[in-house]
A and B are shown apart, each in its own frame.
Chain A
């Protein structure tokens, strides 16, 4: 390839090339500065499009939903009704049918022969005696045949008569499903959400819980054996002592790091989320490792803030690119006000297969079932899956939030004395925090805490 204006470059940026082509492309990009620049620009645009895809939440109307959900039930009813009407057929019935049809055909042929021989004789006489009317004599001959055709078509009205019935049944299934066993109709999830939302808006205002941090540090897991990890989001509705009118807001509380026994919920209300994003950069304490920061932004006004609602935020790593991984921690930041967003942040560290490269690679997927993006403009972003793309970025060029939270995660590793922590020490944690601008506020408090811990450790 000798031009940067090539579809393969875009496909490469979007992770759509197969391994062989991707490797060739990687080599070519490494040798071609223009291609590298082009790749970065495509990456920028695609990252933006992926993370800020506009959406609107739609659902079927309740009668449509019920029609769909009642589909098999209605089919079963129709089949059962049809079976009741039809007497049971014995094994000999098909044979009898064939024999009777053959007999009927033989009778018709014989009758046709008799009729032909009976009416064929006078025909020449008519032809000779009345040559002109011959043409007119044909209609009488064809008239009976037309009548015969009509007679043959007699079953047609029967079919036509049956057709509206069939259509009526179909229409009933589709447009008037509520007439079909309404008691047995499962209530659609969207309706449940709507009810929750309706009742939620009548609730008093809220007082939001304090931020929650949780360290999940654990041993590395071989991605080829278990490539999946998840945290559970539980939107919680909290209220002030003195209730005031206002919308219900949601905070998030953390839960277990692994998905050992996550109950499957079939009627979970939808969790509204503003956005989600997965960032990947090198690991400050071990350059051969990579860090993943997963952020979900959740609106404060949350219809799903109902007791017992749980949402599994799962990440699954691609064993082709990830040899092993571990969960480092999660952080839940409640909304500061009803109209402000809450955040849930999860951190993972992984060891890549082979050398990290500048090429964009989809190293895993994040899923959050029953989540819906909040509105924005025209169409929904697929809330069911988020690609985790590793573009080979280094931690030194990462954003402040990434650096500061990696300092927190590193500090957690230090406190827990975790293995596989490379060159991690207090100085590195402090350096990360200071790089992230820990001059004042909460970040400065954290930096002071690290210094105190460093002194206490005699370092």
Chain B
């Protein structure tokens, strides 16, 4: 099956090291891909290429097999796009804006838009000028999703939303994902990508550093457990048992061990009779994952040099 969004050696050089360089990314149908990176790392530039707003220096972005710069107008109606910087046309109210967008899309049925408005608790009758950042964000989300597009591209969609609203929003996105929509979402917050995406690409300095499969992170083969012993004797004895100790904190009588799933029984076996203060699993998350990966690649780089 051909990918819905494909980015091939995409380069846009704005000079002085700004821009994106040799990006490669492929997003299949129904996939939800996150795009992580700090401010100015090139997330928005990449999205602009997919939308066909910018002409690449080299390489190209393709959507449904169509080259973005030349043919974006043929497919963008199937993309629900929430720009990073929300700014509406010069219209009076949110309702007027949504109606106008529906006019552009040739959309007659507003029931899905109304449902979205309900769920996001949005009052679209407010004046566009007087809307808070969160309200604007919600309005933009409704405008992007109301035509039920196959592809959804979101550029930092949760900025400005309070935690409750963010959850409601992510819930909507997940639902769209379950419906089989292809979703590409950028964010500088790992947690929300972690909670929703199938894969997450990390971009830094205009280059994709790594693409993480969330399956590996949610169900890692090796998990870390932190154990604190009540007394020093048990602590010393445990260290002799041959578990792989990744971290040792003698002042607290704490050890952190790395265990593959099938050896969890051995651990409990060994702990029998020892005075354990607590035992906890250290959650493996995206942040740590990228830290490890990048640390390793940086080490590799240093070694080469």
**Chain A complexes with chain B:** no
The chain A residues found within 8 Å of chain B, CB to CB, are: none
